[in-house]
Chains A and B, each alone.
Chain A
């Protein structure tokens, strides 16, 4: 029937195709698991069921809301429509201050309480995360 060479080539093509499919599947699957969604405080209010999944919340740090103790920092993120309380124990970036944009990453405890594991550093005093800008524009 077919020569040895043809069989070998066929075998290689199948092998390559299989590994391609496998790697695409792997990548997509892990993408699904590890993606972090961005929400504004108003979005959070609309969440139906609370999942134990890492999310990002962005908005402005509410004026006079930062409270600091030796272990953690409390503050409120607002999009001027809804607010959410954030508790955080970790390093804060330089430009973290009241009335400025902020993005916090972590887990929702309930619809108005967020436990942040990271606050993202931004490096420009006029900088506003695009997500925040959008959230603020939509209001």
Chain B
């Protein structure tokens, strides 16, 4: 099987030519090692990260922005969004704080990406 991907790891957006015979995966066109890893994952089990916001109680704004600490299988994106939607956290929150640990057993944490102070 031959496939062409656009690598999404960084803005270079390398065009990857992937050759997969059921056992070996050969990747060409990548400028760096991350492209090879991405292409292999894309064949076997595609992964993505997502960003969203979590409801903030007593904070300077209604929400605090969050992202996943590492990519998760694509099929887990919408189930994770449901968990994020139900989550409430109380200010203050700081960048890097783990708001949901190991979300849905994916191994990824939901972490805060903004410093949110208490409402004054």
**Are A and B part of the same complex?**
no
Residues of A at the B interface (CB closer than 8 Å) are none
Spell out B's residues near A (CB within 8 Å).
none
